[in-house]
Structure 1
Amino acid sequence: MLKRFIRDESGATAIEYGLIAALVSLAIVGGITQVMDGVQNTFNYVSDIMTNAVADAE
């Protein structure tokens, strides 16, 4: 019975899939963070341009 338990690899496959899912999740979170930074920079740039345009118009 102990030998059969040692040779059983079905749990190892589940752990491997779990690790792959964790790595994919980390990659997605890292990518989203980069996109969010880019969007925030763009909004700040547009906000600055609009603020300067309003200030120049007054």
Structure 2
Amino acid sequence: MEKAISTVKSKIRTTKEKAGVFIMKRRYLSGITVIELVLILVIVIALLLIFKNQLINLINTIFDKIISESSSI
């Protein structure tokens, strides 16, 4: 009886260890790290600052067109 209990305990222990290893591997393989997220945000903000005037002009022309087209409805 004691041998069966020790066998079950050892199987549970090895299963827990395997699950822990699997979780640790998945944690490092998937997901965006903070550094990657910060770098992406910096690039997006830099592009917005570089093309600020062009974006403002584009948005203004789009809204002007929407306003002029909506008056015909």
When normalised by structure 2's length, the TM-score is: 0.54
Query: How many residues align structurally?
Result: 47
Equivalent residue for 1:7? none
Structure 2 residue runs of 5 or longer lacking an equivalent are 50-73
SS of 1:43 mapped into structure 2: coil
Q: Which has the higher helix share?
A: 1
Write out the 4+ residue segments of structure 1 that deviate beyond 6 Å after TM superposition.
none
**What do you get for the CA RMSD once the two structures are aligned?**
1.8
Percent of residue pairs bearing the same amino acid type = 6
Aligned twin of 2:14: 23
Q: How do 1:33-52 residues align onto structure 2 when only pairs under 5 Å count?
A: 33-39=24-30, 42-44=31-33, 47=37, 48-52=39-43
Where does the alignment leave 5 or more consecutive residues of structure 1 unmatched?
A: 1-9
Measure how far apart 1:50 and its partner are. Answer: 3.0
